[in-house]
Each structure stands twice: as structure tokens, then as C-alpha cells.
Amino acid sequence: MKKKLKIVLLTIVMSSFAIFSTGISESYFEIAKNLDIFNSLYKELNSLYVDDTDPGELMKESIDHMLESLDPYTTYIPESEIEDFRFMTTGQYGGIGAVITKRDEHVYISEPYEGFAAQKSGLMAGDKILEINGTSAKNKSTEEVSKILKGQPGTSVSLLIERKSVADPFTVIFDREKVTINSVSYSDYINDDIGYVKLRSFTRGCAEQLKKSIVELNNKKVLKGLILDLRSNPGGLLNESVDIANLFIDKGEIIVSTKGKINSWDKEYIAKKTPMFKNLPLVVLINNTSASASEIVSGSIQDLDRGVIIGKKSFGKGLVQQTRKLPYNSELKLTVAKYYIPSGRCIQAIDYSNRNEDGSVGVVADSLLTEFRTRNGRKVYDGGGITPDIITNEDFPVNLIKSLVKERLFFDFATDFRIKNDQVNYDFVLTEEGFSDFIYFLSDKKYEYKTKTESAIESLKEKSKTENYFSEIEEELNLLLSKYYDSKKDDLNKNKQIIKEILTGEIMSRYYYQKGRIKASLNFDEDVKKAIEILEDGNEYNALLNI
């Protein structure tokens, strides 16, 4: 262990000399001094601390905390996490091709990927994994099970499965495969002449996949409008975002530019090809988890008045990362520049700490915003994220829905539905009878939730006790609670629409996998309905873009 420690320390010191020689930092004395302090402290901790320490974990903790002080996206990737990181950029890994989830003591198959090993071997959503290669999977985390299931394509894996509809556990043996997740997760016409394409990520080759999908739609019949769905797309490769924007934007246009500390990162990314879909009316959908490359595409489309943006304000990540190789197969994902879209604005949130719970940009004071103009003179602003041309209503799931999701009751109902029904049509939507079946299914299930109204009444009750008013209002408060609880019993019917939407998607995924889930969601999607309305009304489309 001491020998390894010396090697690590020597590597750090030598790296510092490399920094000195490149002239990146003029304050080399401060760097040398603090490295010396850190090396000595690290050595003393590992040698003399009263309890045993894990040098690797200790080092990772110190690195992580150091990087957190810079920005949220500069991160250290140890060797154990490299494969997951590569999957994010390539969309490829070796494994069985399935999403898994933990419930109680076991891991379950949540959703097989269509066309890959798990699905082809007959595994279904809801299958409980009892053993992997003869070893019990009980009490293992999803991370532990995932690492075991992943491996070199062609290698065999054996699973002992428990399924509700089968009396005894059964064994499934199959080979791992190279799993490639297509960036285009769904594409089809959603009415007579308007196409819809869902892009899930910006992995290698996604621009070519998107182009192919649009061409295929146009080959079926003349495409008169396109909805490009970038909602919940976390981004990915910068070059792919430029190539995608170039499908719609004229050759020679600057799509995005980057500016960094080092001059070599001051770059302009220009559309190099003649656009294939230059005159195709376009709507781009975004939301608060559309980030990075998604914001380059939607932002450049907006700044150049090439299409209408609909949805919710995007995430607000305008920083460019580059990976740098480190010793022992680890890597550093390092922020090296900020990116600027055609109007000149940077969509990075000004304050890294001013974020919502989901990480998206929080409210930015008007005084901190700078006004910019699009190609046609429309006002746009920096300060974090892309603000859509048409902002749709926020969807805040009520606590009832959160509780049903948490207890996996939508999932379990869909699993039971699949067992009872061999097939459903591709245009399936949950019927009133199906909704009634779900109400009956819940009758013996445990799920608890507290509404804001309920919390407010209970808070009032407690405060009245503290301030000695309770005895005077006790009767009225109890009567109010009684009426409230009577009304609460009807919450399932009050939320029928959202429940039917979730169940329709969950059930469709049992038969048609991810494509089925997306197809089902389009029946209820208000953003998509608005996009269709805009594309069908050429006057409104042009007016929004100041054409």
C-alpha cells in the first residue's frame, strides 16, 4: 500500500512540474507549496489515523470536494465508472439490454430493450431476478447487479427468474450482446403531414440517425412540418449538435462558438453543409431537463429564427467539457470553455448555486439579464437556459400520483394486465373499464399521501394548540378535516386523466417497449398538440418568427 501511495504522490508532483513547464500557471510556488502540504497530510492520515482508512476512497473524496468548488460539471471519473461514462457518449455497452430496478430485497427487470438479448430470451418487465450465474442476487443493489450483467459480448449469463404467471422459478440462459441504444427513440407521422421525432441524447452518430429518420418520413409522403422533441435530452457531443442544427440551418452560419481560458478553445462551429431541410417548418420541444447540446440546437434555431421553440425553460448548461486521461485508467471531465449561440448570448446560468431541486436554472433577477436580438429582431435574453417562444403550463404531479409511483402500483397493474392480455393494438388507450379495474386493483393496496391542504389544516391545528386557541376552534377544525377527508376519497377520479395517461404508457411499454411508451404519451401531450396547431397555421408560425 505504501509503495502505491508513493507512486501516486510521485505522479502528482511530476504532474505539477508539467504544469510549470507549460506556463499555464505563473503562481507555481503556491501550487508547489500546497501540493507539499497535501502530500504530507495525506501520508500522515493514512499512516497514523486511529481507524483503518481506504486510501483510494479518501483521495476520491478530496478530489470530489475540490472539484465541487469549481462548477457542477468538472468531475473525476475513477476506473470503476469509466464504462458507464463511455455509454453516455457512445450509447453502447456489452450486456443483456434491460433496465433494472430494486424493490425490497430483490432486483427486477423494469423494461427490456427491444431487439436485444433480454427481450429475445423472453424476459419481461416485472420479472424478479433470484440468481445470476448460480449466485443469489438477494439484497444486491442495482449497481452490483448491473456490473454482473454487463460484460463482453458473446459471454454467457444465466438468470433464475420468478414470474407472477409461472408457478415455479425458471432459468434463462443467453449470451450478452453489444447493446447500442439508438439516439432516435421514436419517429412517425402524428397527423396527415406533420412528422414527430424524439431524440433522447447526443451520442456519436445521432445526427446521421436523425437525418435518416426525417428522410424516411418524407419518403412515405411529403413532410409539411416537423416536431423535434428534445425534452429531457441531457445533451452530449458538441459536434453532433452542430451537425443536427446544420440539417435546418444554412451553410456558413455560425451555430455556436466557444471561449475558454486557453486561446485554442476560442472556436467557431460553422454549418459546413447545405441543409437538407432548409425550408421545412420546424417546432422544437424543450423542458427544464433539456441541457447542453439540446440547448445549442434549440438556441441556434431560435436565434436564427429557423423554427419555433415550445415548452418550458431549458436547463441552463452553457459549459463545454473535455476529458483528460489520468493514471490507472481514470479520467477528468474538465470544463474548458463556455459556449455562445448566434445572438451572442451564453445560456449558462450566471450563478451555479442558483438551481432548482432538479438542477435546472432557478429564477434570475431581471437586473442580471442582458438583452440580445434574433436574426429577425426578436428579443431574447441570457442568464440561464433557453426561454421558449411559447411557454406551456408546468405539470406538477400531485402527491397522490407520487405515492402511486413510489409504491410501483402503476407498474404492478401493467404487469398484471400483460399477464391477462396477450396483445393490445398499437393505438391502445386505457378505457373507462380499465380505469375502473385500476380502482379495484388499488382497493387492497397500501399507499399513503398527504396533500398541501391537509398539511395546512394540520399545521393550523398544531399552531392553535401552541397559542392556546385550540379549545375554541377544535369543533370547527375537526368538522373541516372530516369534510376534507370525505372529499379526498374522490382524488382518484379527480386525477383520472393523468392516471389514464401513465397507465396507457406503462401498459404499451409491455408490448411495444420504449416506442410504445412514447407513442402512448402523444395521445395526451399538450406540447405536441400546441406544436401541431402552430405548424398547421402558417400565419401564426410566421408571426412568431417575425417573418
User: What is the amino acid identity at position 181?
Assistant: I
Question: Residue 136: beta bridge partners?
Answer: 131
* Cα gap 44→166, rounded to integer Å: 59
Is 292 catalytic? The answer is yes
**Coil, strand or helix at 75:** strand
Torsion angle of the four alpha carbons 544, 387, 303, 233, in this order, in degrees rounded to the nearest 10: -110
Owner of C-alpha cell 506556463: 23
Catalytic one of 317, 500, 519, 530: 317
* Cα gap 253→57, rounded to integer Å: 47
Is 317 catalytic? The answer is yes
Q: Which three cell numbers stand for residue 355?
A: 438551481
| Residue among 78, 83, 81, 55 at smallest CA distance from 67 | 78
Owner of C-alpha cell 444465466: 158
* Cα gap 109→99, rounded to integer Å: 6
> How many Å is the Cα radius of gyration of the chain?
27
**Coil, strand or helix at 473:** helix
* Cα gap 418→415, rounded to integer Å: 5
**CA atoms within 13 A of residue 187's CA, in its CB half-sphere:** 20
Helix (H) or strand (E) segment spanning residue 195: strand 194-199
Question: Residue 325: beta bridge partners?
Answer: 331
* Cα gap 209→198, rounded to integer Å: 11
Pairing between β-strand 128-132 and β-strand 156-162 as defined by DSSP bridges: antiparallel
Catalytic one of 292, 294, 300, 360: 292
**Coil, strand or helix at 192:** coil
Question: Is there a contact between 111 and 96 (Cβ–Cβ < 8 Å)?
Answer: no
* Cα gap 534→311, rounded to integer Å: 13
Catalytic one of 229, 303, 389, 527: 303
Handedness of CA 438, 441, 442, 446 (dihedral sign): negative
* Cα gap 124→120, rounded to integer Å: 10
**Coil, strand or helix at 214:** helix
* Cα gap 309→391, rounded to integer Å: 9
Torsion angle of the four alpha carbons 260, 264, 270, 272, in this order, in degrees rounded to the nearest 10: -150
Is 303 catalytic? The answer is yes
* Cα gap 229→184, rounded to integer Å: 10
Q: What contacts 73, CB < 8 A, 6 or more positions away?
A: 317, 319, 321, 333, 335
| Residue among 345, 343, 336 at smallest CA distance from 384 | 345
Handedness of CA 28, 30, 35, 37 (dihedral sign): positive
Give catalytic residue positions: 292, 303, 317
